[in-house]
Structure 1
Amino acid sequence: MAVDPRGVDLKRLLAEDSGEPLVMLNLLRFAEGGAESYREYARRLSETFLPRYGGEVLYAGTGSTVLVAEDGQSWDAVIIVRYPDRTAFSRMVADPEYQEVTRLRTAALAEAVLQATTPWS
């Protein structure tokens, strides 16, 4: 199961750029023992990369009671991050320093959804 965006995914993200701020939904399922690794990734992301690229965490929380879902559709954590635009997100993930840190995220996750959102008018 993929947990990191691929180059083709980032190209599609940029091709659909409206110039609006990007709000990225992260649904995370941790690998065995992965929560601690993800916390370290999140700390580094928040201290270095989000300020560098103008991003901010709007919400981060632990999954709780599932009201509507099939078996296996619950998530360990939900994070919502806002970026100034899609280009800022793309520049961040291309940053060689970020790519060194993202290994923590990759190792931490068994499954993930990383979905760009667009505001309703």
Structure 2
Amino acid sequence: MPVCTLHLLSIKCSISRFLEGLVNGKELRPVIVAKVHRWVIIPSFLSLELLRSKWDVVLLLEGPFGLASTVQELVEEDWKVEVGVPSRILKDFAQRNQALLYPTPGSVPPLTGALEKRHSPAPSSAQDLELSDELLEWINKFKAAEGAGAVTMLNILAFKEGMKSEYLKYGQAFSESVGVKRGGNAKLVGNILSPSHYTSRTASVDGQEKQWDEFAMAHYPTISHFADMIASKDYQEVNHKHRLPSLKDTLIICATDLELPSVQERAAKL
């Protein structure tokens, strides 16, 4: 199982400048780069240093290596863990991800109407992956600002002892029914192999032990498809039966995939 490094980064430059730095760090092999938009679920007690910063970028790199100097100089804060990603998932990932981000006409499933059937009162928060009024308000603002493109939800998971099998039932339901019928796709998954490490100008926090178990990056054709899913009765039945009872702690961050500058684009700037 190839080792990769998952980073959450706060950067001190523009996104475009950061992407150029990634390309210039020739030894780096990005699997996915995504722009962070907001927390959906914050961690309850694990890796609370994550709450210290406003994160800008999710970065998954092939290999257990540090950031290149061309990238390090652009970073304000860095939270990272080593992860194992199955070879079958890494193989041809770039092509598969492009197909998800730019689907063929007619391939995206329609919304199921769950938003129109949403019952009152709404949940008070999204911490249980339910559609609160606050999250729905943000989603509507996000659609107005960002349009109808795809979103990626970064999930980091810690399981209760002996409960991973219950989470696998949730994953099966996601891939066979409640997620896939809204275009949901767990496009990247893997085991977390190391304690987390957090660095900033003022702090350095090494995890004393491996606390998180897995990560997943879930694709949705639009933020509306994600909202349609978590607003639905069929999803919440699975969520409350299998997902919530299995988790010791979790976090979810909403992001959108970024494309690295091409050789032609970089040449045009010279």
TM normalised by structure 1 equals 0.86
Q: Which residue of 2 aligns with 1:114?
A: 252
Work out which of the residue numbers 25, 41, 51 in structure 1 matches 2:180.
51
In 1, are the aligned partners of 2:196 and 2:210 still within 8 Å (CA)? Answer: no
Q: Which residue of 2 aligns with 1:94?
A: 231
Work out which of the residue numbers 159, 168, 174 in structure 2 matches 1:39.
168
Alignment partner of 1:5 is 2:143: no
1:66 offset after TM fit, Å? Answer: 3.7
Amino acid of the structure 2 residue aligned with 1:118:
T
1:93 offset after TM fit, Å? Answer: 0.8
Which has more helix, going by share of residues?
1
**RCO higher in structure (CA 8 A, sep ≥6):** 1
SS at 2:216's partner residue?
strand
Q: Deviations over 1:20-67 (max 9, x none)?
A: 201010000112222111011001111102221011111111111346
In 1, are the aligned partners of 2:155 and 2:216 still within 8 Å (CA)? Answer: yes
Please list every run of 5 or more consecutive structure 1 residues that lacks an aligned counterpart in the other structure.
none
The structure with the larger Rg is 2
In 2, are the aligned partners of 1:3 and 1:106 still within 8 Å (CA)? Answer: no
What is the number of equivalent residue pairs in this alignment? Answer: 121
1:100 offset after TM fit, Å? Answer: 0.4
Q: Deviations over 1:68-108 (max 9, x none)?
A: 34326742010111100100000011110111000111111
Instruction: Rate the CA distance shift 1:14–1:115 in 2: closer, same or farther, 3 A.
Output: farther
Alignment partner of 1:105 is 2:243: yes
CA distance in 2, matches of 1:16, 1:73: 34
Q: Which residue of 2 aligns with 1:62?
A: 191
TM normalised by structure 2 equals 0.41
SS at 2:190's partner residue?
strand
CA distance in 1, matches of 2:127, 2:157: 9
CA-based RMSD of the aligned residues comes to 2.1
In 1, are the aligned partners of 2:220 and 2:226 still within 8 Å (CA)? Answer: yes
SS at 2:258's partner residue?
coil
CA distance in 2, matches of 1:49, 1:23: 17
Calculate percent identity across the aligned residue pairs: 26
CA distance in 1, matches of 2:179, 2:197: 32
Please list every run of 5 or more consecutive structure 2 residues that lacks an aligned counterpart in the other structure.
1-43, 45-125, 199-205, 260-270
